[in-house]
Homo-oligomer: A and B are copies of this chain.
Amino acid sequence: MAKRNIIVGQSGGPTAVINSSLAGVYKTAIERGFDTVYGMLHGIQGFLDEQYVDLSTQIHSDMDIELLKRTPSAFLGSCRYKLPEIHEDMEIYEKIFDILDKLEIEVFIYIGGNDSMDTIKKLSDYAIVKGHSQKFLGVPKTIDNDLALTDHTPGFGSAAKYIAASTKEVIRDALGLAYKKDMVTIIEIMGRNAGWLTGATALAKTEECEGPDLIYLPEVTFDIDKFCEKIKELLKVKQSIVVAVSEGIKVADGRYVCELSGGGDYVDPFGHKQLAGTAAYLANFLGAQIGCKTRAIEFSTLQRSASHMASRVDIDEAFMVGGAAVKAADEGDTGKMVVIDRLSDDPYMGTAGIYDVHKIANNEKLVPREWMNEDGTYVTDQFVKYIEPLIQGDYTPFMVNGLPQHLVLKK
């Protein structure tokens, strides 16, 4: 009898909970009687080099599953690799299916963002056209929350929680130092085109914290002169001002703010500009224009890797969508992505749904304009109400010798 094997891979920028999805895939596959659960190393790119591992050699116990849920970054390694169009390079597709056949793979699960869903679409299209029986399912993942059709993406809640908690700490730090002198703190947040993470700084506004004073999302054109005026107005009434800006804010002529200083020319393999220095640029600009003390803070890569501050809702949902993908494929679905549907806000309930991946890939979901205030300097209560349930609860890290322990690949 033929084996019923399954293979899973991770792709794109990692998140704090992408391994929880992997854990969900593994556990559900074992429960549903798959024979071998393979993990491709470094996604489809490593797979093409026949780099994979039998996950039963890596995960030995429920304790390992729990540790995997608490491990940031891609346990299997990630890649940024875009498959060519089918008509452009048939050979690469033939190679992929040769390896799948050799490993007796029935189900192929890919955990990733927009670019990864494109891979699922192409592979499932190819399989149908060529009469291959494998099923291809996508599991969403991105801190940016820019995938369409899903209420939100796994990884977003944890990044939002880290950002909100760190923003609270930065605001406290700034307040403690502000006496008889002005200080403007500018925090730079990830999110090239979508402002979901930058907006999450608004969660820092709680009963004992004012939250940031201004929030600038990339969805609205940034006006540096108006920004300067806003700061001057605020400095009349308070000494410590904290501003959150997206790395991707642009001025009217279409240039990124960080490009105004001449930087930001590096382009990644997907053609995305690599951004850095938006906060630094604005801090220098304000210092020169107003003469106040300024500082720039980038939350940087920790936004996607701080699993010590991950949200329990997020970890649980990431696990759930991993398992749901296996179940869907096992029941005959292919060319689909699992999504999260919100059943209710309070108490919050989310469940897994299934959508056709053709409807999803490469459409970026932006923050709706009506979830920002009129002059584009803050998010609305509706925005906050949307995110708040996603940052709730914790998975206490397993602390060994004072530090969070992770599960890592043994080669």
Contacts and interface: CB of A to CB of B under 8 A. Distances in A.
Interface of A: 10, 13-14, 41-42, 45-46, 71-75, 77-80, 161, 164-166, 168-170, 172-173, 175-180, 203-204, 206, 208-209, 276-277, 280, 295-298, 300-302, 304-309, 311, 388, 391-394, 396, 399-408
A203 B403 contact: yes
A200 B306 CA distance: 18
Contacts of A173: 14, 72-73, 301, 304-305
A172 B297 CA distance: 22
B176 A77 contact: yes
A36 to B, nearest CB: 23
B311 A309 contact: no
A296 B400 CA distance: 28
Report copies per complex: 2
Contact of A170 (B206, B280, B301): B301
B305 A179 contact: no
Contact of A46 (B79, B170, B179): B179
Contacts of A277: 280
Nearest to A169: B305
B206 A73 contact: no
B311 A161 contact: no
A317 B403 CA distance: 19
A308 B169 contact: yes
A402 B393 contact: yes
A404 B177 contact: no
A204 B406 CA distance: 11
A388 B403 CA distance: 10
A308 B165 contact: yes
Contact of A403 (B73, B206, B276, B403): B206
Contact of A73 (B10, B169, B304): B169
Contacts of A276: 280, 296
Report which residue of A276, A396, A402 has the largest number of chain B beta carbons within 10 angstroms of its beta carbon.
Answer: A402
A401 B72 CA distance: 23
A112 to B, nearest CB: 12
A197 to B, nearest CB: 15
Contacts of A13: 177
Contacts of A74: 176-177
Contacts of A400: 206
Given A14-B173, A403-B203, A396 B396 contact: yes
A161 B403 contact: yes
